[in-house]
């Protein structure tokens, strides 16, 4: 589950990425994540998990994690192979979603590649490279599909959809703006288009503009307008401040944020939004040994969720004993009381897990 950080040069990508790797240093216990120099692993902040660990006096608290991939060096002309264009586009193809950093801070000391701060021009520059690359790929594919369509009806439909997508792309719009039926959306998903990947825009502002979530910054307003055309979320951060925050320990961090009048760091907001963007939810397990959050895709059934913990649990799955986190808290976090009130449900193999389920799986070995 990887997100790629993209953006023009000098917008603050490395600064943000450094904050990510710095913050991620604590979460060195993620054996399932491959650590590469340009991949940062961060814990997904979850207040529910902290609460469970407190109630159960857990020895260990293990949050879930996501990975960010620093895709630096995307410049105008990348789709034509400028710079290391093809390599970067290939990197984007590998990620599940995109974090697009946009410069919204004014700073005479930091040169802008195009001479001035203009978030919409920047967004369009990057998006167009992805769009060009998609058009090229689709046109190659279209040729083959047209041949196949002569004998095959489903290929004929594919041709029609491809032509529709190309038309939208040629208007300079990303494929994610297309409104499609469920089946056609599936079809388009298989094309693995760069411009259809889910996206979050990060508006990188200066410290002064952090108040009111960037409401006083005209550049941020423009980014918000643009993002709304794609139904995309905008997270306002100051990469520089995030880098400072990431170096502090937990208590200092709270004080620092308080001084800035903020409840959560921008990075925490970005991580949580990214998690949601990927369609991920967490279920929780709790006990004196450890309290832990586990990542599943929305729509995952109980046995497959159990399989995240151990394959034996999926194979020998009998039932899940489940309580919603909020229901547990409504009874002071006491499992015994919650059980007496009948709030702990016994669920079978067809149960679809919900975000915040606190679970005990029963299984045969």
Residue numbering of the annotated binding site for ATP? 10-15
The only residue of 178, 239, 302, 359 in contact with ligand GDP, by rule CB under 6 A: 239
User: Binding string to ligand GDP for residues 56 to 95, with x set by CB under 6 A, is what?
Assistant: ----------------x-----------------------
Interaction of residue 300 with ligand GDP, rule CB under 6 A:
no
The only residue of 79, 240, 274, 285 in contact with ligand GDP, by rule CB under 6 A: 240
Cα–Cα distance measured from residue 217 to residue 215, given in angstroms and rounded to the nearest whole number: 6
Interaction of residue 105 with ligand GDP, rule CB under 6 A:
yes
Count of residues engaged in binding ligand GDP, rule: CB under 6 A: 17
Q: How far is CA 86 from CA 68, 118, 315, in A?
A: 20, 25, 43
Which part of the chain contacts ligand GDP (CB under 6 A), choosing from 19-27, 103-111, 292-300, 342-350? 103-111
**Strands across the sheet containing 97-103:** 39-43, 65-70, 2-6, 97-103, 199-204, 233-237
The only residue of 59, 107, 152, 218 in contact with ligand GDP, by rule CB under 6 A: 107
Instruction: Indicate if the alpha-carbon torsion angle 264, 267, 268, 270 is positive or negative.
Output: positive
Backbone angles phi and psi of 56, in degrees to 5: -85, 0
Which part of the chain contacts ligand GDP (CB under 6 A), choosing from 13-21, 33-41, 158-166, 327-335? 13-21
Q: How far is the CB of 7 from ligand GDP (least distance, A)?
A: 5
Interaction of residue 9 with ligand GDP, rule CB under 6 A:
yes
Cβ closest to ligand GDP, residue 106 vs residue 347: 106
Cβ closest to ligand GDP, residue 100 vs residue 292: 100
Q: How far is the CB of 242 from ligand GDP (least distance, A)?
A: 8
Of 320, 321, 324, nearest to 333 by C-alpha is 324
Cα–Cα distance measured from residue 203 to residue 119, given in angstroms and rounded to the nearest whole number: 9
Q: Angle at the Cα of 291 (from 286 to 295), degrees rounded to 5?
A: 95
Q: How far is the CB of 83 from ligand GDP (least distance, A)?
A: 13
The only residue of 27, 38, 177, 206 in contact with ligand GDP, by rule CB under 6 A: 206
Which part of the chain contacts ligand GDP (CB under 6 A), choosing from 41-49, 104-112, 184-192, 308-316? 104-112
Q: How far is the CB of 220 from ligand GDP (least distance, A)?
A: 12
Interaction of residue 204 with ligand GDP, rule CB under 6 A:
yes
Pairing outcome for strands 290-297 and 280-285 = antiparallel
Within 13 A of 265's CA, how many CA atoms are on the CB side?
Answer: 25
Cα–Cα distance measured from residue 65 to residue 43, given in angstroms and rounded to the nearest whole number: 4
Contact 349, 317 (CB under 8 A): yes
Which part of the chain contacts ligand GDP (CB under 6 A), choosing from 92-100, 238-246, 247-255, 343-351? 238-246
Q: How far is CA 309 from CA 284, 292, 294, 323, 361, in A?
A: 11, 10, 8, 18, 10
Cα–Cα distance measured from residue 22 to residue 259, given in angstroms and rounded to the nearest whole number: 21
Which part of the chain contacts ligand GDP (CB under 6 A), choosing from 6-14, 42-50, 128-136, 300-308? 6-14
Interaction of residue 11 with ligand GDP, rule CB under 6 A:
yes
Q: How far is the CB of 230 from ligand GDP (least distance, A)?
A: 21
Q: How far is the CB of 255 from ligand GDP (least distance, A)?
A: 21
The only residue of 12, 85, 119, 214 in contact with ligand GDP, by rule CB under 6 A: 12
Backbone angles phi and psi of 40, in degrees to 5: -110, 130
- CA end-to-end span of the chain: 30
Binding-site residue positions: 10-15
Of 101, 106, 102, 105, nearest to 119 by C-alpha is 102
Q: How far is the CB of 206 from ligand GDP (least distance, A)?
A: 5
Structure tokens at 41: 């692993």
Q: How far is the CB of 209 from ligand GDP (least distance, A)?
A: 9
Chain positions contacting ligand GDP, by CB under 6 A: 7, 9-15, 72, 105, 107, 110, 204, 206, 238-240
């Amino acid at each position: 589950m990887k997100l790629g950080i993209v953006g023009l040069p000098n917008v603050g990508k490395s600064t943000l990425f450094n904050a990510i790797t710095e913050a991620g240093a604590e979460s060195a216990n993620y054996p399932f994540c491959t650590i590469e120099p340009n991949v940062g692993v961060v814990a997904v902040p979850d207040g529910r998990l902290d609460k469970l660990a407190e109630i159960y006096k857990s020895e260990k608290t293990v949050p879930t994690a996501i990975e960010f991939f620093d895709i630096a060096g995307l410049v105008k002309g990348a789709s034509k192979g400028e710079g290391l264009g093809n390599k970067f586009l290939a990197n984007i193809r590998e990620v599940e979603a995109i974090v697009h950093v946009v410069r919204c801070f004014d700073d005479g000391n930091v040169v802008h590649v195009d001479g001035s701060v203009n978030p919409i021009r920047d967004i369009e520059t990057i998006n167009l490279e992805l769009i060009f690359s998609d058009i090229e790929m689709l046109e190659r594919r279209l040729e083959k599909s047209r041949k196949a369509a002569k004998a095959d009806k489903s290929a004929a439909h594919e041709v029609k959809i491809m032509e529709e997508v190309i038309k939208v792309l040629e208007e300079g719009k990303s494929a994610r703006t297309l409104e499609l039926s469920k089946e056609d959306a599936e079809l388009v998903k298989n094309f693995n288009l760069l411009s259809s990947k889910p996206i979050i825009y990060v508006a990188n502002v200066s410290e002064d503009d952090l108040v009111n979530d960037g409401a006083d910054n005209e550049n941020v307003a423009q980014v918000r307008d643009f993002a709304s055309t794609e139904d995309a979320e905008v997270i306002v951060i100051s990469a520089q401040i995030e880098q400072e925050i990431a170096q502090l320990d937990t208590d200092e961090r709270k004080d620092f944020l308080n001084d800035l009048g903020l409840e959560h760091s921008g990075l925490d907001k970005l991580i949580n939004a990214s998690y949601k963007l990927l369609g991920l939810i967490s279920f929780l397990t709790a006990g004196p040994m450890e309290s832990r959050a586990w990542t599943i895709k929305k729509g995952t059934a109980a046995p497959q969720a159990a399989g995240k913990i151990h394959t034996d649990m999926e194979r020998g799955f009998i039932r899940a004993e489940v309580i919603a986190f909020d229901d547990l808290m409504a009874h002071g976090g006491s499992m015994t009381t919650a059980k007496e009130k009948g709030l702990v449900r016994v669920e079978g193999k067809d149960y679809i897990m919900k975000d915040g389920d606190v679970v005990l799986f029963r299984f045969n070995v």
